[in-house]
Structure 1
Amino acid sequence: MFNLNFKFLKKLKRNFFPFYKSKDIKIVFKTLQKGFSNEKIVARFVGGCVRKHLMGENIDDIDIATILNTEQIKKRFKDSNFKVIETGAKHGTVTLISEKNKFEITTLRKDIKTDGRHAEIEYTDNWQLDSERRDFTINAIYLDMNGKIFDPQMGTVDLKNNNVKFIGDPQKRIEEDYLRIIRFLRFKIMYDFNIEPTTSDAVKQNLDGVKKISKERVLLELLKILDLKNFLKINENKQLKEIFSMIFPELLYLQRLDRLKRINDYSLLSKDILLAILLIDEKDNHEYFAHKYNIPNKLKRFLASLASNLIETQSKSFFDKDLTKNIYFYGKKHCISLNLINFSANSKIKLQDYLKNLSKILKLKIPKFQIDGEYLKQNGMKEGQSIGRVLKTIENEWIKNSFKISDDRIKELIKANSN
């Protein structure tokens, strides 16, 4: 009953409060339409925003296709309230930014020459030609300001049937841009688990082409895949699992996902934590991955910290008598992540033990060390003395004594370390 009501509410929101009725969007389309008759179609929404609108999903990025070229777009918005950024001017893309929204506006184009990574393009005013150079039928659905669909590749039919299909010959589409292999994998996980034999063959035959793609683009697609709620089910489809493992051989521990499906609360499974679960072991597997994909330093530190403490979780004290100390040093997210990795990697750990540890982590309050340099000076320490060293000594004793220390003891330590 809940699922039916939820679907009904999503449909109601889509029909009565569509994204294309926002104030910013109306201004953008009015500006693009200026100088043309109302009958002339100058711009349409396309890609993910249309697909998500039709599926009742949340819309984050808004892409607009137009017959105008980049110079015309920039000129029209030069004195507007939108910030204009030439994000991909050589490919016909201009980004508009307002206080609340970001829009990518791209000139209709067709591919002239491709090399598996980039394409030489030619502008056009032909909507059909623009649709033919796109990757999948579900990404070639256009929507105008009045909510009217233009669907030259029959993408709405495939979307209704949860079918991810290349436009035209899969082999040709993949050879134009090898990143489409990973995008195909992402959309397959998102919408459907069946793969047509011809498409599967084309994907497998071109897997080496992924090596030509920049590691940054590949990593970005991987993180999008890890963000999908259906990713936990990848082991249920032999073909998808095989393709995923061939592209990302460093992610050794897909079998851990089967254990994760038992935890019920998936809100804890961020893409960073899932990456850690698939990577981390006692053999520094994460280091090779981090080097290969040149991952951001913040993510690199997150993985390294988890890996360094993984062995410690095998001791019962980590989630018991030492838990408060561990939360103090590493934070709750770190301990939650270790609890997840530990449960997913060790079949001997019962679900009730995982849940018990999680409950303790969530309920515990992180102790706060209240002593600072000013306090030390007020209690006898002179400026210029080793305040930092004394603070560390006091903090260590405070931690050792279950996060308790008396004022008298603090004064003793100050006196003992003031000479």
Structure 2
Amino acid sequence: MSEQEALARLKAAAWLADAKPFFDCLGGDDGATRAVGGIVRDTLLGRAQTTTDIDLATVLRPQEVMERAQAADIRAHPTGLEHGTVTLVAGGVTAEVTTLREDVETFGRHAKVRFGTDWAKDARRRDFTMNALYADAAGALFDPLGGLGDCLARKVKFIGNADNRIAEDRLRVYRYFRFAASHGAQQFDAEALAACARVADNLDQLSAERVGSEMVRLLGLAKIGETLGEMKTCGVLDDIVMSQQTLERLVRYESLGFSPELSGRLALILAGGIEAEKLQDKWRLSNAQINAARSVFQACGDVLFGQVAEVAYRLPEHKFTIAAVASVLGEKDERWLAEHMAQMEQLVPDGFPVSGKDLVRLGYHPGPELGAELKRLEKCWLEAGYGYDKAALLAMARPPEN
């Protein structure tokens, strides 16, 4: 797309109207406050907005932001005053307003900063050139570092020296790869890759929560195979998590024509041999995330052994993911996958038609015998592809022993 088209899109952005109350009370027309970061970048790229939240940068100090907002009857929350951040809410729209900052001393994430009024210095504190783009209240672009070209070319480039940007916060290694996949069409900057490789052995200092948050977001994107390969080559992902076989399986998974799921990708990583508990701890995955991955992985064996109806019954929300992952693990061809996807599509049971109460009416008493018979009948029903109705199943019930 041309720069003219991108700039016209920015001027016509719908979110400018949502941001007007904030611009009005914070001197947006005078250039005191500008939108910054993701909402500007994604508008220029024509990407759909996934949130109504707006990031604003301002020359105003936090206390003045609070006072102006309150005078304009806008709710203000001091969510990060020590970092210069105030959260404002108006008309159901949230704006995170941060005062411009500049470094006094830099030592990783704990750099000493002070509030400033220099937009270029604020821009140089950011990570990538495509994230140092600002827009005023009228949607006019302010580009102090010349990042528009990189943004439109989908080049994810560190601002200035890549080693210096990473030294300020090593999580930027993971952010680089995530952005290369989400915004860079999996194009990679040689300088950035070399800088990431130089610190790969020193990333253990990062918290598992921060790393896991980046990895979960990365694993949720549509196309990441090349990105994972570069992360492996750089040493950012070790062989315990990303063996060559696991990488090849993940590449195969995203080539199947179905939208890859986080649970499917995590299941393929588990299939590489890492224990679920270790993976959960490494990336601080939630119980829901790791349990879904474990269920998908374990169910793949059932599908490969022909127990499709049982999988569709017990894990309906994951049945298509399971079929796709099973095809990868079982090295099945496209025809096999198409057949099993079609089966999964048709297998939509209302629920097992027999209950414990039904067996009580046949003379069973609550207890192990009733439970065993109920389980046996359920197995028969599943093996028949839900082919027996309630009457047929009760006719198949064995008489109670007592």
Q: TM-score range by the shorter chain?
A: 0.7 to 0.9
1:157, distance to aligned residue in structure 2 (A): 1.7
The aligned runs of 1:215-294 (5 Å cut-off) are 215-234=208-227, 239=230, 241-243=232-234, 246=237, 249-252=240-243, 253-265=246-258, 267=259, 269-277=260-268, 279-281=269-271, 283-294=273-284
The aligned runs of 1:18-33 (5 Å cut-off) are 18-22=13-17, 24-33=18-27
1:133, distance to aligned residue in structure 2 (A): 1.0
In structure 1, what is the equivalent of residue 377 of structure 2? 397
1:58, distance to aligned residue in structure 2 (A): 1.6
2:351 aligned to which of 363, 368, 376: 368
In structure 1, what is the equivalent of residue 326 of structure 2? 342
In structure 1, what is the equivalent of residue 198 of structure 2? 205
| Of 203-212 and 69-78, the range deviating more from structure 2 | 69-78
Structure 2 distance, partners of 1:271, 1:289, is 14
In structure 1, what is the equivalent of residue 150 of structure 2? 158
Structure 1 distance, partners of 2:392, 2:253, is 49
1:392, distance to aligned residue in structure 2 (A): 7.7
In structure 2, what is the equivalent of residue 75 of structure 1? 67
1:312 aligned to which of 302, 326, 346: 302
In structure 2, relative to structure 1, the CA distance for the partners of 1:282 and 1:255 (3 Å cut) is closer
In structure 2, what is the equivalent of residue 42 of structure 1? 32
Indicate conservation of the 8 Å contact 2:159/2:165, yes or no: yes
In structure 2, relative to structure 1, the CA distance for the partners of 1:106 and 1:398 (3 Å cut) is same
**Which structure exhibits the higher relative contact order, with contacts defined as CA atoms closer than 8 Å and separated by 6 or more residues?**
2
Structure 2 distance, partners of 1:275, 1:119, is 35
Local SS of the residue matching 1:254: helix
Structure 2 distance, partners of 1:28, 1:14, is 21
TM-score, structure 2 as length reference? 0.83
In structure 2, relative to structure 1, the CA distance for the partners of 1:415 and 1:93 (3 Å cut) is farther
Structure 1 distance, partners of 2:368, 2:82, is 55
In structure 2, relative to structure 1, the CA distance for the partners of 1:394 and 1:285 (3 Å cut) is closer
Percent pairwise identity: 25
In structure 1, what is the equivalent of residue 124 of structure 2? 132
In structure 2, relative to structure 1, the CA distance for the partners of 1:64 and 1:288 (3 Å cut) is same
Asked if 1:358 corresponds to 2:348, the answer is no
Residue deviations 1:5-29, cap 9 Å, x none?
A: xx9xx9799368513333x311222
Local SS of the residue matching 1:230: coil
1:274, distance to aligned residue in structure 2 (A): 2.1
Structure 2 distance, partners of 1:308, 1:81, is 55
Residue deviations 1:19-75, cap 9 Å, x none?
A: 3333x3112222223xxxx75212111111111010000223521111223333333
Residue deviations 1:120-168, cap 9 Å, x none?
A: 3211122121111111111111111101111111000212333222222
1:369, distance to aligned residue in structure 2 (A): 3.5
The aligned runs of 1:29-108 (5 Å cut-off) are 29-33=23-27, 40-61=30-51, 62-78=54-70, 84-97=76-89, 100-108=92-100
In structure 2, relative to structure 1, the CA distance for the partners of 1:70 and 1:373 (3 Å cut) is farther
Structure 2 portions without partners, runs of 5+:
none
Local SS of the residue matching 1:166: coil
In structure 2, relative to structure 1, the CA distance for the partners of 1:81 and 1:274 (3 Å cut) is farther
Local SS of the residue matching 1:90: helix
1:123 aligned to which of 112, 115, 123: 115
In structure 2, relative to structure 1, the CA distance for the partners of 1:248 and 1:204 (3 Å cut) is same
Number of aligned residues: 391
Local SS of the residue matching 1:301: helix
Indicate conservation of the 8 Å contact 2:200/2:235, yes or no: no
Residue deviations 1:309-355, cap 9 Å, x none?
A: 3433432x1xxxx322221122241x3222222222343x1111111
Indicate conservation of the 8 Å contact 1:284/1:307, yes or no: no
In structure 2, relative to structure 1, the CA distance for the partners of 1:31 and 1:410 (3 Å cut) is farther
In structure 2, what is the equivalent of residue 331 of structure 1? 316
In structure 2, relative to structure 1, the CA distance for the partners of 1:241 and 1:207 (3 Å cut) is closer
| Of 251-260 and 355-364, the range deviating more from structure 2 | 251-260
Indicate conservation of the 8 Å contact 1:390/1:414, yes or no: no
In structure 2, relative to structure 1, the CA distance for the partners of 1:85 and 1:313 (3 Å cut) is farther
